[in-house]
A and B are shown apart, each in its own frame.
Chain A
Amino acid sequence: AQTVTQSQPEMSVQEAETVTLSCTYDTSESDYYLFWYKQPPSRQMILVIRQEAYKQQNATENRFSVNFQKAAKSFSLKISDSQLGDAAMYFCAYRRGNNDMRFGAGTRLTVKP
């Protein structure tokens, strides 16, 4: 079964600095998708960034980028120039084809002014 592990329950970053959230996953498949979702307090979950496993190039969305290491089954999220609005729970997720999306337990990110 595919599992997703986020080893950092909580992380903290100073405003304007950079933080990296870790995620590892377990799969025997070669073709799949990886996602980072953001869940602000009392607000809905939104997609931050996604990565197709067949693509070698790491995905980037403005201040958000990933470090995808397929062989190591690692998928970390880097947030640059952190802003107060980045404070949220961040979930790493894995999906293969039409199968259900598997989420990690989440990392709570605090941004200090």
Chain B
Amino acid sequence: EAGVAQSPRYKIIEKRQSVAFWCNPISGHATLYWYQQILGQGPKLLIQFQNNGVVDDSQLPKDRFSAERLKGVDSTLKIQPAKLEDSAVYLCASSLIPGQGVETQYFGPGTRLLVL
């Protein structure tokens, strides 16, 4: 079974530019998560989708971050405009059963963003 796919793997941009990340979850997984992992810290949830609806986006900086999940499959996360503090690894994860606490989340390889 194919894992969670993310692209690009690396991105370097200047502050105030825009950037978008793409995630393709494991086939059939209803729940998709975007995490931000700043160097030296654990991942922090930005947004959680169940199918194509948003379950939790309480920690998403909505003035600059946006995300969508088209047709309940692929998802994109956008930052516009980027700030220096957005430099981080952006992880996408998916799980099979919608939002169940014990359900295993499968992570993608992440996109490493550097904002200069």
Contact = CB atoms under 8 A, between A and B. Distances in A.
Describe B's contact surface by its main secondary structure: loop
Given A91-B42, A105-B41, A47 B100 contact: no
A44 B3 contact: yes
Interface of B: 3-4, 40-45, 48, 55-56, 58-59, 91, 93, 99-102, 104-105, 107-110
A46 to B, nearest CB: 7
Nearest to A51: B102
B42 A103 contact: yes
B60 to A, nearest CB: 11
A11 interface: no
B5 to A, nearest CB: 11
Contacts of B59: 100
Contacts, number: 52
A95 B3 CA distance: 23
Nearest to A31: B101
Contact of A33 (B40, B99, B102, B108): B102
A95 B107 CA distance: 16
Max count, chain A CB within 10 A of own CB: residue among B40, B43, B93, B104 = B43
A82 to B, nearest CB: 22
